[in-house]
C-alpha cells in the first residue's frame, strides 16, 4: 500500500508539473516606433536555453515552466526581464539612451560612451519627441549642462542664440553644427522630428574639427532605415494656439491723465488735461496688439531596408502665426529629407543625406525704438484705436517722440517677406582594405537662395512722425506717388571636402588602437544677386507691387556699384588623431591640426592646434570591480588649443567696398572708395580649453556627471575705436580688425539622472543638471582699454562695455542711493545737475564732490551665474507623462522700453512714485522739467533671474491588441503646453531677452515675448 501511495503521489506531482509548462510565442517590438525587432536574443535566465526573433520579430519556445524569467537582449536597447505567466508574451524594448555601451558620434567617427575621454552630452530622439520643439535649439535648453539658449525674439521663425560654456569672443560665438556630417548654419531648416540623436562636444574634444569647432560642436544624426526591414511609415502631427506669457500693466486713461497733469504741474506748466472725469479706462494697447495665434505641424517619414541598402524619406510642414500681428508675422517651413546608404561591394559603402528646406517669413518691427510693442507700451491710453471717421487715430504731435505711432496702423501698413530655399547634401564613400584599414571621402555642400521683398505704402501717422511716407498736405491721388518697394536676392553657398584614412585594430584583446589621418577643404561664398529699389509702386499689397513697375531713377543703392560677391572665405586643414584604449581601463586621445584660413595674411595664414584627452575607468580595477554600489566610475581630463577665424573676409588687405560720392561736371556721381581699414598683421584667435570630469553610475540606476572647466581665449579679434583721421567713419569704412583681448570662462557642471522600473506597468525617471559660470575679461588691447556697445534711451552713451576685470558686456552707469527727500539732502549731497527733492540720488564713487561721468561704474551684467534644468517623466500602463523646467539665476536686464517723455504712457509701477518726503525711496517723482532721472543708472537695471516650466506633456497610447486589429503598430495621442509658467521678478515681457551680442546683450527695448503654446497631437506608426 505504501508503494502505491508513493507512486500516486509522484504521478500527481508529475501531472502538476506538466500542467505548469507552456509553449510560448510572441513578438518583440521597438517601444517608441512599434517596429518589429529581428535577431533579439530570448534566453531563460540562468541557462543557455533560448532562441532569437525572426525577420518579423516573432519568437517561440516550447515546454517552458510558468514563473521562470525570460531575458530579452538586443544591441542598443535596454535589457528586459519578463516573468512567464501565459503562452502569449509580447514584449517592447526601449532604446538604452543612457547605456554605457551606447555608440556616440564624435568627430569623424564614433565611440562607445564609456570610452569617451571628452565632455560629450547626448540628447536622444525620445527626449526631443517629448518636448515637441518648433526649433531644435529648444530641445537643448535645460537638457544639457553648460549649454545656454537665449531668444533674439519670440516671433515666429526667429533665431535662438546657442552658447556653450559662456561667451568666449567679441565676435561670432555660435557653435559648429553638423547634420549627418553636413555643416548647417541655420537650424530653422531642420525638422526636429527627423532627429535620431544630438551629441554636444563641449571641451577640447571639439578640436578635431579645428577652427570651426572653437565654440563647441553639435552633431545631429537624422533617422535612417535599417537593413532587412519592410516599409515602415510614421506620421506625427500637432495643432494648437499660442498666447503671450505676460502683459505689462499700464496706466489706464484716468491714471495716465492724472500723472501727466502732475508732471506738468511739477514744472509749473499748464495742465494738458483740464477735465479727466470722462476719460475712464481708455485703450489698453497691449490688448489690441496681442492676439491668440495658431500653430500647426505635420511630418511624415518612411523607412525601408534590404540586405544591402537602407532608405529613409521624410517630409514636414510647419505653419506658425505671431502673437503680435497674426498672419503679418507668419512663419512656415516645408522640408524634405532623403537618406540612402548601400553596400556597393562587400568592402565599399556609399552613404548620402539630402535635405531641402523652404521657409517663408513675414515680420514686424521689433526689439527696437519705434517697434510695434514699444509703441503699444508708450501710446497714450486716452486715445482710441480709431477716430470718429473710422480711421486709425494719431498719437499726439508733441510729448511722445517722433517714433511713437498707432501700433495697429503700423502693423496694417507693414508688408515684407523673406523666402529661403536651401538644399544641403552630404555624399560619401567608405572603402575597407587589408586588416583594419579604411579610406573615406565625403563631399558636403549647402546652397541657399534668399529673396527679400518689402513694400512701404503711402501712409501718414501724424505730424512729424518718422514713419510717414506722405505729408498731411499731400494729395494721395497726386501722380507724385511716394510709396516704395524694395527687392533683393542673395545666394549663399559652401562646400566641404574631407578625405580620411583610418586604421583600427585590437591587439591581444586589450590594446585597442585607432589612427586617423585626414584633410579638409572648405569654401564659403555670399553673392549679391540684386538689390533694387523702386518708387511710386502701383498696388496695395506686397504681391501686386514690384520694382519692375516702379520708378528706379532714385535708386542710389543700385548706383553705388555694390560688388556682386560680398564675401569669400576658404579653409585648408590637415589633421591626425591617435586613440588608444588599454583593456577598457586606460584611455587616451591626441589630435594635431594644421589649419589655414583666407581671412589672414600670408604671414599668419596657417596655425598649429594640438588637443589631447585622457581617461581612467577606475571601476574596472580589481579593487572596485566587485563593488555593489559603484557600477561605473571614469575620471577624465582634456586640454588643448583651438583656433578661431570668424571675422569678415580679407580684413588683412584694403578693398574697394566703401561708398564714394564725387562731383563731375557739376553732377553728383556715386562710386566706390576704400572700405574698412586693413591690418596685415592679424592672426588666429586662440581658445585654450581645460576640462576635468568624472562619470559614475551607482546601483546601475543613478548616473552622475561632473566637470570643472576653464576656457581661456587669447588674441581676441576685435574692432577697436580708432581716430577719425584714419577715415574709419567714412561711409562703408570701419576700424581695422586687431588681436587685442583675452577672455576667460570657468565654472562647474553637474548632472544626475535616476531611472526606476517599479513594475511592468510603471516606471519613472528624473534628471537634474546645473552649471555655474564666471566670465571675466583679462585684457583689452586698445588705447583706452575699453570697448563699447549697446544703446539706451536717445542720445546717451553706450551702456555696455568690455573691460579688464569685468564680465564681457557688463552694464556701466550710475549707482543710485535712494531718493532725495528734502532740499537739505540735495544741498548736503555731491553736486548733481538739476537735482531736486524726489529725484534719484547718484553715488559719488570717486568722492570728488561732483556727480560726473567719472562716477559711472559696474551696475550689473547679462551673463547668468547659474543655469539649471530639471526633467521628470513616468509611464503608467498606456499613459506617459513628461515635464521639464529651466532656471537662470544671477543675470541682469536693462529696462529700456520706457520712452520717458511728458505724454507717453507709463507702466503702473509709476504709481509708487515719490510725491513728498517719506512717500518713496525707490521710485522718483514725475516731472517735465530737466533732471537726471532718465540717465542710465541701476534704476533701469533689474534682476533677470527666472524659473520657467518649459514643457509639460501627457500622452496615451492605444493597447497593442487594438492596434493589431486595425493594422497599426503605434497610435499615441497627447496634449502639451510649452512655457506655461515663468516665475521672475523682472517687470518686462520676457526674462530670456537677448540680442545675442557679446557687448550690448540683455537690453530690453520691448522684447517680443516667447509665447506659451498649447498643443494637441498624435503619433501614428504604420
Structural contact between residues 299 and 191, judged by C-beta atoms closer than 8 angstroms: yes
Structural contact between residues 467 and 403, judged by C-beta atoms closer than 8 angstroms: yes
pLDDT of 7 reads 42
Of the candidate ranges 59-73, 610-624, 867-881, the one whose mean pLDDT is the lowest: 59-73
Average pLDDT for the chain: 88
Beta bridge partners of 977: 952, 1014
pLDDT of 6 reads 46
Output the CA–CA distances (angstroms, integers) from residue 228 to 37, 39, 225, in the order listed: 10, 11, 9
Of the candidate ranges 334-343, 377-386, 534-543, the one whose mean pLDDT is the lowest: 534-543
Q: Which pLDDT band holds residue 860 (cuts at 50, 70, 90)? A: very high
Cα–Cα distance, 683 to 770 (Å, whole number): 36
Cα–Cα distance, 715 to 710 (Å, whole number): 17
Q: Which pLDDT band holds residue 723 (cuts at 50, 70, 90)? A: low
Q: Give the Cα-Cα-Cα angle 796, 986, 939 (nearest 5 degrees).
A: 40
Of the candidates 210, 921, 115, the residue with the CA atom closest to the CA atom of residue 513: 115
472, burial (CB in 10 Å: exposed 0-12, middle 13-18, buried 19+): exposed
Q: How many CB atoms lie within 10 A of CB 458?
A: 19
Integer distance in angstroms from the first to the last C-alpha of the chain? 65
Q: Percentage of the chain surpassing pLDDT 90?
A: 56
Q: Percentage of the chain surpassing pLDDT 70?
A: 92
pLDDT of 5 reads 42
Is residue 104 over pLDDT 80? no
Cα–Cα distance, 780 to 741 (Å, whole number): 4
Phi then psi for 188, rounded to 5 degrees? -65, -15
pLDDT tens for each residue of 33-47 = 677 887 788 988 877
Q: Which residues, other chains included, contact 514 with Cβ-Cβ below 8 Å and sequence gap of 6+? A: 109, 502, 503, 504, 577, 578, 579, 580
Of the candidates 221, 217, 216, 210, the residue with the CA atom closest to the CA atom of residue 521: 210
How many residues comprise the chain? 1022
Cα–Cα distance, 770 to 866 (Å, whole number): 7
Q: In this structure, what DSSP letter does residue 785 have?
A: S
* Residue with the larger pLDDT of the pair 543 and 735: 543
Of the candidate ranges 54-68, 178-192, 275-289, 680-694, the one whose mean pLDDT is the lowest: 178-192
Buried b (16+ CB within 10 A) or exposed e, 947-982: bbbbbbbebebbebeebeeeebbbbbebebbbbbeb
Of the candidates 875, 691, 672, 621, the residue with the CA atom closest to the CA atom of residue 118: 691
Of the candidate ranges 374-388, 556-570, 714-728, the one whose mean pLDDT is the lowest: 556-570
**How far is C-alpha 352 from the chain's CA centre?**
27
pLDDT of 782 reads 84
* Residue with the larger pLDDT of the pair 138 and 403: 403
For residue 103, what is its C-alpha cell? 555608440
Please give the full DSSP string across 750-763, using - where no structure is assigned. EEEEEEEE-SSSEE
Q: Which pLDDT band holds residue 1020 (cuts at 50, 70, 90)? A: very high
Cell 583666407, located at residue? 598
Q: Which pLDDT band holds residue 555 (cuts at 50, 70, 90)? A: low
Structural contact between residues 891 and 883, judged by C-beta atoms closer than 8 angstroms: no
* Element of type H or E holding 726: none
Q: Which pLDDT band holds residue 189 (cuts at 50, 70, 90)? A: low
* Residue with the larger pLDDT of the pair 191 and 413: 413
Q: How many CB atoms lie within 10 A of CB 842?
A: 24
Q: Which pLDDT band holds residue 475 (cuts at 50, 70, 90)? A: low
Output the CA–CA distances (angstroms, integers) from residue 434 to 346, 347, 437, 439, 504, in the order listed: 13, 10, 6, 11, 11
Most confident segment among 19-23, 68-72, 923-927, 951-955: 923-927
Cα–Cα distance, 613 to 199 (Å, whole number): 18
Please give the full DSSP string across 878-939, using - where no structure is assigned. TEEEEEEEEEEES-EEEE------TTS--BGGGGG---STTS-SSS----SS--STTSSBGG
What mean pLDDT do residues 311-316 have?
92
pLDDT of 807 reads 96
Output the CA–CA distances (angstroms, integers) from residue 945 to 651, 657, 706, 770, 977, in the order listed: 39, 43, 24, 14, 22
* Residue with the larger pLDDT of the pair 944 and 727: 944
Q: Which pLDDT band holds residue 724 (cuts at 50, 70, 90)? A: low
What mean pLDDT do residues 297-315 have?
91
Cα–Cα distance, 77 to 40 (Å, whole number): 10
What mean pLDDT do residues 211-227 have?
85
Cα–Cα distance, 819 to 924 (Å, whole number): 6
For residue 959, what is its C-alpha cell? 493597447
pLDDT of 451 reads 95
Phi then psi for 497, rounded to 5 degrees? -115, 125
* Element of type H or E holding 468: none
Cα–Cα distance, 847 to 424 (Å, whole number): 61
* Residue with the larger pLDDT of the pair 64 and 111: 64
Cα–Cα distance, 861 to 936 (Å, whole number): 14
Q: In degrees to the nearest 10, what's the CA dihedral of 185, 187, 193, 196? A: 40
Please give the full DSSP string across 493-529, using - where no structure is assigned. EEEEEEEEEEEEEEETTTEEEEEEEEEEEEEEEEEEE
pLDDT of 663 reads 76
Structural contact between residues 303 and 226, judged by C-beta atoms closer than 8 angstroms: yes
Q: In this structure, what DSSP letter does residue 88 have?
A: B
pLDDT tens for each residue of 265-286 = 999 999 999 999 889 999 999 9
Alpha helices in 97-252 (DSSP H): 125-131
Q: Which pLDDT band holds residue 729 (cuts at 50, 70, 90)? A: low
Structural contact between residues 337 and 312, judged by C-beta atoms closer than 8 angstroms: yes
Cell 509702386, located at residue? 537
Q: How many CB atoms lie within 10 A of CB 665?
A: 5
Count the alpha carbons within 13 Å of 82 in the hemisphere toward its beta carbon: 22
Of the candidate ranges 183-187, 808-812, 1000-1004, 1015-1019, the one whose mean pLDDT is the lowest: 183-187
- Return the biggest CA–CA distance within the chain: 138
Of the candidates 318, 321, 363, the residue with the CA atom closest to the CA atom of residue 189: 318
What mean pLDDT do residues 227-239 have?
89
Most confident segment among 462-471, 649-658, 692-701: 692-701
pLDDT of 8 reads 39
* Element of type H or E holding 724: none
For residue 633, what is its C-alpha cell? 566610475
| 594: three-class secondary structure by DSSP | strand
Count the alpha carbons within 13 Å of 319 in the hemisphere toward its beta carbon: 9
Q: In this structure, what DSSP letter does residue 77 have?
A: B
pLDDT of 181 reads 79
Q: Which pLDDT band holds residue 561 (cuts at 50, 70, 90)? A: very low
Q: Which residues, other chains included, contact 509 with Cβ-Cβ below 8 Å and sequence gap of 6+? A: none
Q: How many CB atoms lie within 10 A of CB 804?
A: 15
For residue 248, what is its C-alpha cell? 505689462
What mean pLDDT do residues 685-699 have?
94
pLDDT of 9 reads 41
Q: Give the Cα-Cα-Cα angle 822, 823, 828 (nearest 5 degrees).
A: 100
What mean pLDDT do residues 514-542 have?
88
Q: In this structure, what DSSP letter does residue 698 have?
A: E
Q: In this structure, what DSSP letter does residue 735 have?
A: P
Of the candidate ranges 19-23, 238-242, 375-379, 679-683, the one whose mean pLDDT is the lowest: 19-23
Of the candidates 178, 186, 171, the residue with the CA atom closest to the CA atom of residue 137: 186
Strands in 41-44's sheet, in edge-to-edge order, are 50-52, 41-44, 69-73, 80-83
pLDDT tens for each residue of 650-689 = 777 877 667 777 777 777 776 777 777 888 889 999 999 9
pLDDT tens for each residue of 144-171 = 899 988 777 888 988 778 899 999 888 7
pLDDT of 325 reads 92
Q: Give the Cα-Cα-Cα angle 23, 26, 27 (nearest 5 degrees).
A: 160
pLDDT of 570 reads 92
Please give the full DSSP string across 797-859, using - where no structure is assigned. PP-EEEETTS-TTEEEEBPEEEE--SHHHHHHSPB-TT--TTSEEEP-TT-SSB-SGGG-EE-
Cα–Cα distance, 266 to 596 (Å, whole number): 66
Amino acid at each position: 500500500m505504501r508503494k502505491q501511495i508513493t507512486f500516486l503521489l509522484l504521478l500527481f506531482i508529475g501531472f502538476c508539473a506538466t500542467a505548469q509548462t507552456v509553449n510560448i510565442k510572441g513578438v518583440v517590438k521597438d517601444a517608441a516606433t512599434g517596429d518589429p525587432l529581428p535577431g533579439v536574443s530570448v534566453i531563460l535566465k540562468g541557462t543557455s536555453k533560448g532562441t532569437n526573433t525572426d525577420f518579423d520579430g516573432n519568437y517561440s519556445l516550447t515546454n517552458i515552466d510558468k514563473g521562470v524569467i525570460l531575458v530579452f537582449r538586443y544591441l542598443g536597447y535596454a535589457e528586459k526581464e519578463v516573468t512567464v505567466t501565459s503562452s502569449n508574451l509580447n514584449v517592447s524594448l526601449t532604446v538604452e539612451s543612457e547605456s554605457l555601451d551606447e555608440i556616440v558620434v564624435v568627430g569623424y567617427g564614433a565611440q562607445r560612451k564609456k570610452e569617451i575621454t571628452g565632455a560629450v552630452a547626448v540628447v536622444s530622439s525620445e527626449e526631443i519627441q517629448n518636448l515637441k520643439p518648433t526649433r531644435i535649439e529648444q530641445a537643448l535648453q535645460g537638457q544639457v549642462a553648460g549649454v545656454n539658449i537665449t531668444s533674439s525674439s519670440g516671433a515666429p521663425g526667429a533665431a535662438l542664440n546657442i552658447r556653450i560654456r559662456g561667451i568666449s569672443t567679441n565676435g561670432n560665438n555660435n557653435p559648429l553644427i553638423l547634420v549627418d556630417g553636413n555643416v548647417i548654419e541655420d537650424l530653422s531648416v531642420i525638422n526636429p522630428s527627423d532627429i535620431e540623436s544630438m551629441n554636444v562636444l563641449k571641451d577640447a574634444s571639439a578640436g578635431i574639427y579645428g577652427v570651426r569647432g572653437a565654440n563647441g560642436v553639435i552633431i545631429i544624426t537624422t533617422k535612417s532605415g535599417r537593413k532587412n526591414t519592410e516599409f515602415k511609415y510614421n506620421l506625427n502631427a500637432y495643432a494648437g494656439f499660442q498666447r503671450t506669457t505676460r502683459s505689462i500693466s499700464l496706466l489706464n486713461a484716468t491714471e495716465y491723465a492724472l500723472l501727466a497733469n502732475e508732471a506738468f504741474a511739477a514744472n509749473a506748466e499748464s495742465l494738458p488735461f483740464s477735465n479727466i472725469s470722462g476719460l475712464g479706462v481708455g485703450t489698453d494697447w497691449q490688448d489690441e496688439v496681442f492676439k491668440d495665434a495658431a500653430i500647426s505641424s505635420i511630418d511624415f517619414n518612411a523607412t525601408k531596408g534590404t540586405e544591402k541598402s537602407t532608405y529613409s524619406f521624410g517630409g514636414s510642414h510647419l505653419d506658425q502665426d505671431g502673437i503680435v500681428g497674426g498672419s503679418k508675422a507668419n512663419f512656415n517651413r516645408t522640408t524634405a529629407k532623403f537618406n540612402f546608404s548601400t553596400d556597393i561591394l562587400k568592402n565599399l559603402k556609399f552613404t548620402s543625406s539630402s535635405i531641402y528646406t523652404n521657409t517663408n517669413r513675414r515680420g514686424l518691427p521689433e526689439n527696437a525704438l519705434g517697434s510695434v510693442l514699444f509703441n503699444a507700451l508708450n501710446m497714450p491710453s486716452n486715445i482710441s484705436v480709431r477716430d470718429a471717421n473710422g480711421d486709425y487715430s494719431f498719437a499726439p504731435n508733441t510729448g511722445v517722440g517722433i517714433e511713437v505711432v498707432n501700433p495697429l496702423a503700423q502693423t496694417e501698413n507693414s508688408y515684407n517677406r523673406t523666402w529661403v530655399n536651401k538644399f544641403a547634401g552630404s555624399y560619401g564613400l567608405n572603402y575597407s582594405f587589408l586588416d583594419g584599414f579604411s579610406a573615406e571621402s565625403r563631399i558636403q555642400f549647402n546652397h541657399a537662395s534668399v529673396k527679400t521683398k518689402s513694400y512701404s505704402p503711402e501712409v501718414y501717422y501724424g505730424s512729424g512722425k518718422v514713419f510717414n511716407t506722405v505729408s498731411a498736405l499731400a494729395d494721395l491721388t497726386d501722380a507724385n506717388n511716394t510709396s516704395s518697394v524694395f527687392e533683393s536676392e542673395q545666394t549663399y553657398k559652401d562646400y566641404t571636402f574631407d578625405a580620411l584614412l583610418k586604421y583600427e585594430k585590437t591587439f591581444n584583446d586589450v590594446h585597442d588602437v585607432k589612427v586617423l589621418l585626414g584633410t579638409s577643404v572648405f569654401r564659403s561664398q555670399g553673392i549679391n544677386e540684386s538689390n533694387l529699389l523702386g518708387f511710386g509702386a502701383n498696388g496695395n499689397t506686397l504681391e501686386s507691387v514690384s520694382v519692375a513697375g516702379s520708378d528706379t531713377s532714385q535708386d542710389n543703392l543700385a548706383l553705388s556699384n555694390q560688388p556682386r560677391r560680398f564675401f569669400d572665405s576658404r579653409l585648408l586643414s590637415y589633421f591626425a588623431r591617435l586613440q588608444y584604449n588599454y583593456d577598457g581601463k586606460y584611455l587616451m586621445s591626441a589630435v594635431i591640426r594644421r589649419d589655414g584660413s583666407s581671412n589672414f595674411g600670408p604671414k599668419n595664414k596657417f596655425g598649429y592646434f594640438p588637443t589631447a584627452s585622457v581617461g581612467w575607468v577606475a571601476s574596472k580595477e580589481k579593487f572596485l570591480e566587485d563593488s555593489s554600489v559603484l557600477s561605473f566610475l571614469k575620471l577624465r581630463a582634456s586640454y588643448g588649443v583651438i583656433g578661431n577665424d570668424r571675422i569678415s573676409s580679407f580684413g588683412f588687405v584694403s578693398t574697394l567696398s566703401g561708398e564714394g560720392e564725387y562731383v563731375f561736371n557739376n553732377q553728383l556721381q556715386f562710386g566706390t572708395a576704400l572700405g574698412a581699414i586693413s591690418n596685415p598683421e592679424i592672426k588666429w584667435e586662440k581658445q585654450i580649453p581645460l576640462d576635468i570630469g568624472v562619470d559614475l553610475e551607482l546601483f546601475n540606476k543613478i548616473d552622475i556627471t561632473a566637470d570643472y572647466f576653464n576656457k581661456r581665449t587669447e588674441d581676441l579679434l576685435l574692432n577697436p575705436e580708432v581716430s577719425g583721421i584714419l577715415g574709419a567713419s567714412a561711409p562703408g569704412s570701419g576700424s581695422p580688425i586687431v588681436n587685442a583681448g583675452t577672455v576667460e570662462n570657468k565654472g562647474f557642471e553637474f548632472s544626475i539622472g535616476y531611472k526606476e522600473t517599479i513594475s511592468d506597468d510603471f516606471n519613472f525617471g528624473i534628471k537634474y543638471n546645473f552649471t555655474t559660470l564666471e566670465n571675466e575679461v583679462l585684457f583689452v588691447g586698445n588705447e583706452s582699454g575699453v570697448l563699447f556697445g549697446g544703446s539706451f534711451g536717445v542720445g546717451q552713451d553706450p551702456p555696455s562695455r568690455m573691460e579688464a576685470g569685468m564680465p564681457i558686456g557688463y552694464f556701466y552707469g550710475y549707482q543710485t542711493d535712494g531718493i532725495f527727500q528734502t532740499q537739505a539732502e540735495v544741498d548736503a549731497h555731491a553736486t548733481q545737475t538739476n537735482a531736486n527733492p524726489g529725484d534719484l540720488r547718484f553715488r559719488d564713487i570717486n568722492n570728488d564732490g561732483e556727480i560726473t561721468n567719472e562716477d559711472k561704474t559696474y551696475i550689473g551684467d547679462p551673463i547668468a551665474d547659474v543655469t539649471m534644468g530639471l526633467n521628470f517623466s513616468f509611464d503608467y500602463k498606456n499613459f506617459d507623462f513628461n515635464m521639464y523646467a529651466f532656471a537662470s539665476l544671477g543675470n541682469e536686464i536693462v529696462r529700456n522700453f520706457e520712452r520717458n517723455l511728458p505724454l507717453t504712457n507709463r507702466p503702473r509701477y509709476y504709481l509708487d512714485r515719490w510725491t513728498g518726503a517719506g512717500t518713496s525711496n525707490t521710485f522718483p517723482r514725475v516731472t517735465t522739467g530737466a533732471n537726471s532721472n532718465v540717465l542710465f543708472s541701476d534704476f533701469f537695471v533689474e534682476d533677470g533671474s527666472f524659473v520657467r516650466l518649459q514643457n509639460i506633456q501627457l500622452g496615451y497610447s492605444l493597447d497593442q491588441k487594438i492596434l493589431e486589429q486595425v493594422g497599426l503598430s503605434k497610435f499615441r495621442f497627447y496634449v502639451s503646453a510649452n512655457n506655461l509658467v515663468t516665475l521672475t521678478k523682472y517687470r518686462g515681457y520676457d526674462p530670456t531677452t537677448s540680442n545675442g551680442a557679446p557687448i550690448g546683450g540683455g537690453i530690453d527695448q520691448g522684447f517680443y515675448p516667447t509665447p506659451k503654446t498649447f498643443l494637441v497631437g498624435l503619433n501614428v506608426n504604420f
